[in-house]
Structures are given as structure tokens and as C-alpha cells.
């Protein structure tokens, strides 16, 4: 059975706005059920452990999907979400792959979290696939290869775009713009129109542009294992 670790944010403050943030529900629920339905074993982790903060906006009617409604009716999944492991207590050796849902939270904590940085570096060094969607690719900003170069340098990636952040009115609120940061690290940043599903695969690194890309990114991750006959 393939074992996947899903890493969620523990950060719940949207800068100095006084508003709440966290993980985006669709970006958790869609991959979670893709993995479950594929027969994968899913483990959840976050920097602080316990229940990660949900961005309340992501559960408003306009942003609900079949998968978010499935989650809301799934007592077992909700209980599992309430008991995420602390990130400093997980080991890459215990998992076949790693998936990072987005939401705005990750650009504050996962991007700077030493345990997250080491987890990604060790996952890549072990030749295991890793996927990050929406704001979560921002967690790659300090990740380096074994020779000390930025992981994303010279690699094709995507993530929440400057245009999408501008549409949300949060360009001046977030600590950095995902697109600008990855470009600054030497990445080749690909994108499509605002909020259209888009996934990029570069070797074992899978990135998705926005919430609509989270399910497709999970599908791409699953296909890497199907293709390898694992």
C-alpha cells in the first residue's frame, strides 16, 4: 500500500488584517479522497500538530465542491484531521510520497519551518515524488539540493500567480508572492489563466497552480506510482 504524508499549515492569521487564514479546504479534500479512493494510506501532519486551522473563506458556499461536502459528512476524516502529527515527529523513511495542500497559511509557516524544509530536501534526495499546490510551492523557497543550490533552480514549476494574488487583493498582505519568489530562485514558472486548473511535472516534483489544480495534482502524483509499477 502506498503511503502518503499530507502536510498542512498551522498558521491562522492573515497578516495584519485581523482576518483568519489556514489551509484551503478544497486543496485538502480533493487530494485526500483521490488518495483514499486509490487505496493509499494517508497520514496528516502540521508544524504544531493537532487540528490545523481552516481558512473560513474556503468553506463558504461559493467555494464548496463535491469533495468538500464529502469531507463535511465524513466523521472519520474530520477526526483524522483533528489529530495531525507534529512535523518534527515524522520521517521521510515512513512514506512513499508527500503532498502539500495550500491556502495562505503555508507562506507564513511552512515556507520558514526548518522541519518542513528538511522533509522536502530528504524526500527529494530519496528520489520520492512530492507535490505542492497553490501557495504551498512557496514552501520551496529555502529548499536546496545536496550541492546547496535552490531546488527549483532550472526546474519547471507553477503555483499561485501574481495575478491570482492581485485578484484576491492580498498582494501587500502576504510576506512574499509565490510566483516572484520561485522566479527569484531560478525556477521556470509556468502558468495559465487565473484560477484555471494547471499542473506541472518536472521529474519527481509536481506543482499545481491554484485550488482547482489540487485534485489534478493528486492524480498526477498517483500516476507517477502507477507508471512506475509501484
pLDDT of residue 126: 97
Each residue of 138-153: pLDDT tens digit? 999 999 999 999 999 9
Active site residue 134: yes
Residues contacting residue 230 through CB under 8 Å, at least 6 positions apart: 2, 96
What 8-state DSSP symbol labels residue 142? Answer: T
Q: What pLDDT, on the 0 to 100 scale, is given for residue 226?
A: 83
**229 band by pLDDT with thresholds 50, 70 and 90:** very low
Judged on CB neighbours under 10 Å (0-12, 13-18, 19+), 51 is middle
Tell me, what's the pLDDT at 62?
Answer: 95
Write down the catalytic residue from 26, 134, 142, 179.
134
Q: Residue 229 region, left (φ>0) first, then alpha (ψ -120 to 50), else beta?
A: left
- Domain range for 35 is 3-228
Set 26, 164, 165, 179: catalytic member? 165
> Please, how many CA atoms are within 13 Å of residue 174, restricted to the half-sphere of its CB?
27
Is-contact 164 174, C-beta < 8 A?
Answer: no
Considering the chain, what is the average pLDDT of its residues? 97
Q: How confident is the model at residue 228 (pLDDT cuts 50, 70, 90)?
A: low
| CATH number (domain holding residue 208) | 3.40.50.880
**3-state secondary structure at position 18:** coil
Q: Which of 141, 154, 224, 221 is nearest to 187 (CA)?
A: 154
Q: What is the pLDDT of residue 230?
A: 41
The residue from 11, 104, 135, 142 that is catalytic is: 135
Beta-strand ranges (E) seen in the chain are 3-7, 41-46, 85-86, 97-100, 130-133, 156-157, 188-189, 199-202, 205-208
Label residue 227 by pLDDT band (50, 70, 90).
Answer: low
Least confident residue range of 34-48, 108-122, 190-204, 214-228: 214-228
- What percentage of the chain has pLDDT greater than the value 70? 98
User: For the chain, what is the domain count?
Assistant: 1
Q: What percent of the chain has pLDDT over 90?
A: 98
DSSP 28: H
> Is 11 one of the catalytic residues?
no
pTM beyond cutoff 0.95: yes
State yes or no: is 135 an active-site residue.
Answer: yes
With a CB cutoff of 8 Å and minimum separation 6, the contacts of 91 are none
Amino acid at each position: 500500500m502506498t503511503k502518503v504524508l499530507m502536510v498542512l499549515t498551522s498558521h491562522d492569521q492573515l497578516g495584519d488584517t485581523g482576518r483568519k487564514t489556514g489551509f484551503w479546504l478544497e486543496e485538502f479534500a480533493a487530494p485526500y479522497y483521490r488518495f483514499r479512493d486509490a487505496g493509499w494510506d494517508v497520514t496528516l501532519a502540521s508544524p504544531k500538530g493537532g487540528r490545523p486551522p481552516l481558512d473560513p473563506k474556503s468553506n463558504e458556499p461559493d467555494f464548496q465542491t463535491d469533495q468538500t461536502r464529502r469531507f463535511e459528512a465524513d466523521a472519520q476524516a474530520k477526526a483524522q484531521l483533528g489529530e495531525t502529527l507534529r512535523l518534527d515527529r515524522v520521517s521521510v523513511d515512513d512514506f512513499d510520497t508527500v503532498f502539500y495542500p495550500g491556502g495562505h497559511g503555508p507562506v507564513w509557516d511552512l515556507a520558514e519551518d526548518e522541519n518542513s524544509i528538511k522533509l522536502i530536501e530528504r524526500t527529494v534526495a530519496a528520489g520520492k515524488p512530492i507535490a505542492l499546490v497553490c501557495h504551498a510551492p512557496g514552501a520551496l523557497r529555502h529548499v536546496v539540493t545536496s550541492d546547496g543550490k535552490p531546488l527549483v533552480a532550472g526546474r519547471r514549476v507553477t503555483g499561485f500567480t501574481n495575478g491570482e494574488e492581485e485578484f484576491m487583493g492580498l498582494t501587500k498582505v502576504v510576506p512574499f508572492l509565490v510566483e516572484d519568489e520561485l522566479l527569484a530562485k531560478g525556477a521556470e514558472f509556468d502558468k495559465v489563466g487565473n484560477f484555471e486548473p494547471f499542473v506541472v511535472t518536472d521529474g519527481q516534483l509536481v506543482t499545481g497552480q491554484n485550488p482547482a489544480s489540487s485534485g489534478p495534482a493528486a492524480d498526477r502524483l498517483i500516476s507517477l506510482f502507477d507508471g512506475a509499477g509501484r
